[in-house]
Amino acid sequence: LAVDAVSDAHVVGPDHQWALDLPPEPVVIPGDAARLHQVLTNLLANASVYTVPCTIVTTRLSTGPTHVVLQVIDNGPGIPAALQSEVFERFARGDTSRSRQAGSTGLDLAIVSAVVKAHNGTITVSSSPGYTEFAVRLPLDGWQPLESSPR
Q: The domain that contains 13 carries what CATH number?
A: 3.30.565.10
**Could you tell me which residues are beta bridge partners of residue 137?**
69, 122
Give me the number of domains the chain comprises: 1
Please give the C-alpha separations between residue 5 and each of 41, 72, 109, 146, in angstroms, as whole numbers: 6, 12, 16, 24
Mean pLDDT value of segment 131-147: 82
From CA 120, how far away is CA 140, in angstroms rounded?
A: 10
Is residue 144, in this structure, part of any structural domain at all? no
Mean pLDDT value of segment 111-117: 95
Mean pLDDT value of segment 114-127: 96
**Structural domain range at position 73:** 2-139
Is residue 150, in this structure, part of any structural domain at all? no
Residue 101 has pLDDT above 50, yes or no: no
From CA 31, how far away is CA 18, in angstroms rounded?
A: 25
Is residue 146, in this structure, part of any structural domain at all? no
Q: What is the pLDDT of residue 99?
A: 43
Q: What's the whole-model pTM score?
A: 0.85
**Residues 104 and 96: beta-carbon distance below 8 Å:** yes
Is residue 43, in this structure, part of any structural domain at all? yes
Averaged confidence pLDDT in the chain: 86
